[in-house]
Copies of this chain bind each other. A is one copy, B any other.
Amino acid sequence: MYSFRNDYSEGAHPRVLQALTDANLVQTVGYGMDPLCETARETIRRLCDAPNADIHFLVGGTQTNLLVIASLLQPYEAVIGAHTSHINTHETGAIEATGHKVCSIDTPDGKLTPALVETVLAEHNGTEHMVSPRMVYISDSTEIGTIYTKSELTALRECCDRHGLLLFLDGARLGSALTAPGNDLTLPDLAALTDAFYIGGTKNGALFGEALVINAPNAHFRWHMKQRGAMLAKGRLLGVQFQAMLEDGLYFDMARHANEMAFRLRDGIAALGYAFPVPSPTNQQFPVLPNTVIAQLQSMGYEFEIDHPVDAQHTCVRFVTSWATPADVIDSFLNDLASCR
């Protein structure tokens, strides 16, 4: 009777909703040019230690990904991503729909490395007969829950500099990554090491919204936004939410809670003897369960996503926690799981 299907199963954190309510009747200009957005931009620049960053608020992740990629690449340039990356799998070809190839490569853990990037580059000969790989796309946390360390991200940055590549970090689940055990990255690190990254709101307590930080001047990004139907008329809604989440640490508090709930869940599942093929320090957990157990959990009313079959009797599933997941629900679930089979 609980859904672990995703981290956007509820509305917004009550304080975010309250902020929207408080500002509701204030009149402002549209399209994100209002003072509420400007305040949020200043907060983000301060938190990122990036006084000149170009900051835009978008409604969703796919929209943000396609806009960043389409606006920063020339028509014949391509983006490198993990085979499991969101842009390569779960965006219905949104990147290709803007005309750009995604050069994907298999990874053991959803993470790109300089060696993997250079493998892709080596398949391209620099002539007009092939696309020019020009951007590296990574996610933190990744689509399978793993995170980048500062040394890994620094190595990717150096690799990109060596080869004239842009580095773009999808932060749809950035809160969970930055509060994960083992993480040593900070917002200023991201601003310093990437060409663009975003602070995901949709999956961490906002009604919706991604705050994109572009670390290079981009005079016409708003033209791209409008042309793709990505400019929210009441843009202020995005500024208000990000200010509410970021002004006093709520964003990280929510992410930390989601992680803690995920670990409580993970440890409980593991204690019952089930395996996790890829260890995840974030709010997505991927245990392998017997199909019979899965069916019993579903019949009890639990919801979660099927990731992939492992063998005829077992399936890897995904559990996601959020800022809204109560601890007692985890405990009830673990009791129910213990009773299965």
User: Residues of A with Cβ closer than 8 Å to B?
Assistant: 2-3, 5-6, 8-12, 14, 17, 20-21, 23-31, 59-67, 70-71, 74-76, 78, 89-94, 96-102, 123, 128-132, 202-203, 207-208, 220, 222-234, 236-237, 303, 324
A328 to B102, CA, bound (A): 46
From A75, A98, A222, A229, name the one whose CB has the most chain B CB atoms within 10 angstroms. Answer: A229
Which chain B residues border A93 with CB–CB below 8 Å?
A: 76, 78, 99-101, 131, 227
- Additional pairs, 13, CB under 8 Å, beyond known A21-B21, A67-B229, A74-B223: A9-B30, A17-B20, A20-B207, A60-B229, A60-B233, A62-B226, A66-B229, A92-B223, A93-B101, A96-B100, A203-B233, A208-B234, A229-B229
From A14, A93, A132, A324, name the one whose CB has the most chain B CB atoms within 10 angstroms. Answer: A93
Do A228 and B25 form a contact, CB below 8 Å, given A6-B30, A128-B92, A130-B90? no
In the complex, the count of this chain's copies comes to 4
- Select A62's contact among B98, B208, B231, beta carbons within 8 Å: B231
Contact (Cβ within 8 A) B97 A227: yes
Closest Cβ of chain B: how far from A213's Cβ, in Å? Answer: 18
Contact (Cβ within 8 A) A131 B9: no
Which chain B residues border A222 with CB–CB below 8 Å?
A: 128
A9 to B23, CA, bound (A): 11
Closest Cβ of chain B: how far from A175's Cβ, in Å? Answer: 15
- Nearest B residue to A16, CB-CB: B24
Which chain B residues border A23 with CB–CB below 8 Å?
A: 11
Which chain B residues border A75 with CB–CB below 8 Å?
A: 70-71, 97, 223-224, 227
19 pairs, A vs B, C-beta closer than 8 Å = A9-B27, A10-B24, A11-B236, A17-B21, A60-B232, A65-B229, A66-B229, A71-B75, A76-B224, A76-B226, A76-B227, A91-B226, A92-B227, A93-B101, A93-B227, A129-B226, A203-B233, A208-B233, A208-B237
A222 to B66, CA, bound (A): 17
Main secondary structure of the interface of A (DSSP, over half): loop
From A64, A232, A233, name the one whose CB has the most chain B CB atoms within 10 angstroms. Answer: A233
Contact (Cβ within 8 A) A59 B62: no
- Nearest B residue to A63, CB-CB: B229
A280 to B124, CA, bound (A): 24
Contact (Cβ within 8 A) A92 B129: yes
Contact (Cβ within 8 A) A131 B30: no
- Select A202's contact among B21, B132, B234, beta carbons within 8 Å: B234
